[in-house]
Amino acid sequence: MRALLIILFLFVLVSFGQAALSDDGWDILARVKFTEKYFKEENEYYLYPFFDSKIRALEGKEFTLKGHYLPMDLDDNRMIILSRFPYSMCFFCGGASPASVAEIYFKTKPPRFKADQIITVKGILKLNDSNIDHMNFILKDAELITGK
């Protein structure tokens, strides 16, 4: 009986461990803390991210995000902006956190998306805390998983 309880306990422990590994990508990014920082060259305050060691450990690894396509006029035809929230509630329009948007750079030119179309992408996570011309979260070499 004791052996059965130990096996059951280990099974539950492993199950919870697996659940933690399968966190939604946005939930992981939402853990990043932001503070206002003054940028002299811009003469403005911006929200500056603090990437703790858990987030930094994900940099350079494959990362998946499911979100809403935001129509933007961008120079690079392989790049899109993905948002956790629809356009009306996104970081640019509705006051959501900067942790709710990401730059996505596809390996090849992606298909045309409709505004707010929900897509899933995977790519290599890059963290940005120094270039205010880019998002804090960037997926490089991304591939479309769903949403064609």
92 falls in which pLDDT band (50, 70, 90)? low
List, as one string, the DSSP characters of 10-29. HHHHHHHHHHHHT--HHHHH
The whole-chain average pLDDT of the chain stands at 82
Domain layout of the chain by residue ranges: 24-146
pLDDT for the residue numbered 66: 96
Categorise residue 111: left if φ over 0, alpha if ψ from -120 to 50, beta otherwise.
beta
Cβ 126 vs Cβ 139: under 8 Å:
yes
- Between the CA of residue 39 and those of 25, 45, 131, what are the distances in Å? 29, 6, 11
End-to-end Cα distance, the chain: 52
Tens of pLDDT along 96-109?
788 899 999 999 99
Enter the CATH code of domain 24-146. 2.40.50
Residue 49 · residue 129 · CB < 8 Å: yes
Question: For residue 134, is pLDDT > 90?
Answer: yes
